[in-house]
Amino acid sequence: MTILDRYILRELSKTVFLGLLAFIAVFISLDMVENVDDFVDSSASMFSIFKYYLFQIPHIFTLTLPVAVLISCLFTVGQMARHSELVAIKASGIRFGRTVVPLLFAGLIASMASLGMSELVEPTANAQVRIIKANEMRRSVGGGEPRMRNNISYRAKGGFFYFAPKYDTKLNVMKDVVVERSLKGDLIFRLNAEKATWQDSTWVFKEARVRWFSDTGDVEREAYIPDGSLPDVNANPTDIVRKQRQPEEMGFRELSHLAARIEESGGDPTRYRVGLNMKLSFPFTNLIVILIGSPLSARLRRGGLAVGMGLGLSLTFIYYGFIRVGQTLGEQGVMPAVLAAWMGNIVFAACGIYLILREEKY
């Protein structure tokens, strides 16, 4: 790594750090203003509010890091352009493409950090936010939980896993239910039923087919249950509904398994497939914004930080707009989930590469 590389990385790192702190502070401040009435109505303690926002930081980090990286890139390279440092670098025989290498390296590091945060920390933190909001910040008035719930999944003790595309919380009835039991990673049995009703402290299944599996994964035996129950398949409905984990509270592997089970049960896993690919594509926005931001900022000769902030926020809104459009098209089934999740990255990466190649000609 050359002296120039270290200089660029140092300048970029300082502004990224300050930008992140500023965005997190602004995000929390705006959210507090929006929710202050709810906090007062629920008599939430200061400690509960502190925990609520503390556990939101991982989500805010992954959401605002690309904005901080882009604005920092615009400011760093823009300052070099205004002080004629880029001219001196080109005069010494160093091409613009080589100059942005440390920036791309920083973007890759930021992408890996975002990916790690979204996979290892954010799901658990999001679950804690939901629990705190439900238990410690419950509003004194409200419409309550909806009667019909979709795509219920619950992992119970003893290796049992329950899944149902439709769940009636008033009648405690699951439709197209799937129940599996696994021990040490080996599937023991799988039950598929048209309906399950909670009666006399157990689940009564209608039109159920049960398969037991051997250690090798082959079907050992199977049975048909027109109307009946199974031993130990008695997870309490309250636990199934209240402990339901949302997609944003799951890691990539767990969400992938959920999508597979939804598909196996005849449900539509499209939304979850798009979400899976978004978990991979969104962190790499940190690298893509460097690709498009560095050649644009090389043209900034006037305006300073204000111009960089304005341009950065404008590009971010356009970029996030592309991502949102792609996500919506994917969830509607208009385009494949992979293409939908990566559409924004592909378009902006192509634009960035073109702008860098164009800058090298000057």
| Res 210: pLDDT | 93
Q: How many domains does the chain have?
A: 2
pLDDT band at 346 (very low <50, low <70, confident <90, very high): very high
Note the pTM of the prediction, 2 decimals.
0.73
Domain boundary among 213, 234, 255: 234
Question: In terms of pLDDT, which residue wins out, 186 or 198?
Answer: 198
Shared domain check, 116 and 86: yes
- Residue 46's domain comprises 3-138+276-360
| Same domain flag for 13 and 99 | yes
Question: Domain boundary at 209, 234, 259, which?
Answer: 234
Residues 198, 228: one domain? yes
Same domain, 21 and 95: yes
Residue 202 belongs to a domain: yes
- Domain identity same for 121 and 226: no
251 within some domain: no
Task: Say if residue 48 is in the same domain as residue 102.
Answer: yes
Query: Residue 243 falls within a domain, yes or no?
Result: no
In a domain, 269, yes or no: no
Please name which of 67, 76, 60 lies closest in space to residue 24, comparing C-alpha atoms. Answer: 60
Residue 148 covered by a domain: no
pLDDT of residue 264: 64
pLDDT digits (tens, 9 = 90+) for 127-180: 888 888 877 776 533 445 667 888 888 888 888 889 888 899 888 999 999 999
What pLDDT is recorded for position 80? 86
* 43 located within any domain: yes
Could you tell me the CATH number of the domain that includes residue 165?
Answer: 2.60.450.10
Band (306; pLDDT cuts 50, 70, 90): low
Residue 143 lies in a domain: no
DSSP string, 210-265: EEEE-TTS-EEEEEEEEEE--TT----HHHHHHTPPPGGGS-HHHHHHHHHHHHHT
- Same domain membership, residue 19 and residue 134: yes
- Please tell me the least confidently modeled range out of 46-60, 194-208, 260-274, 282-296: 260-274
* 147-151 own/partner pairs: CB under 8 Å, 24+ apart: 149/241, 149/244, 151/258, 151/262, 151/267
280 with 309, same domain: the answer is yes
User: How buried is residue 3: exposed, middle or buried, by Cβ count under 10 Å (0-12/13-18/19+)?
Assistant: exposed
Overall average pLDDT of the 106-116 stretch: 94
Instruction: Give the separation between CA 151 and CA 163, rounded to whole angstroms.
Output: 7
Give yes or no: residues 18 and 124 share one domain.
yes
Contact criterion met (CB below 8 Å) for 148 and 167: yes
- Whether residue 248 lies inside any domain: the answer is no
Whether residues 71 and 125 fall in one domain: yes
Average pLDDT over residues 105-114: 94
CB 165 within 8 A of CB 149: no
Contact 270, 94 (CB under 8 A): no
Q: Are residues 128 and 67 in the same domain?
A: yes
Judgement on whether residues 96 and 198 belong to the same structural domain of the protein? no
Q: How many CB atoms lie within 10 A of CB 114?
A: 23
List alpha helices for the chain, DSSP H. Answer: 3-41, 46-54, 57-82, 85-91, 96-99, 101-116, 122-135, 237-242, 252-264, 270-281, 285-297, 304-331, 337-360
